[in-house]
Amino acid sequence: LQRSDGSHTCGGSILNENFILTAAHCVVVGNGIEAYPPHYFQVRLGSVQRTVGGTLLKLKRIIVNKTYGNFLNDVALLEVETPIVWTKNVQPIEMADTEVPSGEDVIVSGWGRLYTGGPIPHHLQYNTLKALSTQECGTAINMGYDSLICLAHEQENGVCNGDSGGPATYQGKLVGVAGFVVGGCGTSNPDGYAKVYFHRQWIEENMAK
C-alpha cells in the first residue's frame, strides 16, 4: 500500500480479485476510524521491490472495522478499482479457519524498517516468528485478547514501521495482520497481529456488500 505519490505506507494481503486486507491504522485519519479517501492511496502488486515492478492499482473503497481502537480489531479492507489479474507473482491467499497452535512457526513479511529509525529496505524481507497462545500473550505484554495473535521473536528481530498491515502466514494460510510492537522494534516483546480467524466473519460479510 502506497500513498498516491508512491511513498510506502503498509503491507497487505490479496484475498480475492477485488479485495486486499490491511491494518486499519494504515488508512485512518489520526486516531479515529474514518478512512482517508481512496484516491490518497494505490497498491503495488506482484513485485518484491518496494518502488518498481509489478502493477499499480487504484482503490475504489476503503472499509475500516468500526470496532477498531486501542490496538484491537486493527483491520481494514481495500477494494480495488479494477479486478486483480492473477499471474505467477500475484495470487490470493486463503484465510485461516483455525487457531495457530502455540509454539508453531509463523512467517511474516514486509518492507518495514530494518531497525528502529533505520532504513526502509528496497526488497521484501521475511522472517519466522513463533505463535503464542492468548494466555501467553497476556502474560508477556498484557494483551490477552482472542482477537489478537502474538508472535514471539529473538531480540533485534520482529516487525517494525512499514510492516503494518502485512501478512503472517501459517501452513500457507493467512493468520495475522501486522498491527503493533511493544516498546519499539526489536525488543524481546512479542509483536501484536490482528487474528484473521477471529475477524473472518467481518471480512467475509464486508467483501460481500
Kindly state the DSSP code that residue 34 receives in the 8-state scheme. P
Give the list of residues 6+ apart from residue 178 with CB closer than 8 angstroms, or none: 11, 23, 108, 110, 112, 159, 163, 164, 165, 166, 167, 168, 191, 193
Ordered strands of the 55-64 beta sheet = 2-3, 41-45, 55-64, 76-80, 19-22, 13-14
Helix (H) or strand (E) holding 160: none
Which pairs with CB-CB distance under 8 Å and at least 24 residues apart come from 140-146? 140/189, 140/190, 141/182, 141/189, 141/190, 141/192, 143/71, 143/182, 143/192, 145/72, 146/195, 146/198
Domains and CATH numbers, the chain: 2-90+200-207 (2.40.10.10), 105-197 (2.40.10.10)
Triad 63, 170, 127: Cα angle to 5°: 90
Is 40 strand, coil or helix? helix
Q: What is the CA radius of gyration of the chain?
A: 16
Are 11 and 22 a contacting pair, CB within 8 Å?
A: yes
Catalytic residue among 8, 13, 74, 191: 74
What letter represents residue 188's amino acid? S
C-alpha cell at 153: 521473536
> Residue 146 catalytic?
no
- Is the pTM here over 0.95, yes or no? yes
Provide, rounded to the nearest whole percent, the portion of the chain with pLDDT above 70. Answer: 100
Cα separation, 194 vs 76, in Å, equals 11
Give me the mean pLDDT over the 65-93 stretch.
Answer: 98
pLDDT digits (tens, 9 = 90+) for 101-141: 999 999 999 999 999 899 999 999 999 999 999 999 999 99
Helix (H) or strand (E) holding 10: none
Cα separation, 43 vs 122, in Å, equals 16
pLDDT digits (tens, 9 = 90+) for 190-204: 999 999 999 999 999
pLDDT over threshold 90, residue 34: yes
Q: What is the pLDDT of residue 209?
A: 87
Q: What is the pLDDT of residue 42?
A: 98
pLDDT digits (tens, 9 = 90+) for 136-172: 999 999 999 999 999 999 999 999 999 999 999 999 9
The mean of the pLDDT values for the chain is 97
Is 140 strand, coil or helix? helix
Catalytic residue among 25, 109, 147, 191: 25
Q: What is the pLDDT of residue 140?
A: 97
Catalytic residue among 13, 153, 164, 191: 164
Is 150 strand, coil or helix? strand
Q: What is the pLDDT of residue 37?
A: 98
Determine the length of the chain.
209
The maximal CA–CA distance of the chain, rounded, in angstroms, is 45
pLDDT over threshold 90, residue 96: yes
Going by pLDDT thresholds of 50, 70 and 90, the confidence category of residue 27 is very high
pLDDT over threshold 90, residue 45: yes
Kindly state the DSSP code that residue 136 receives in the 8-state scheme. H
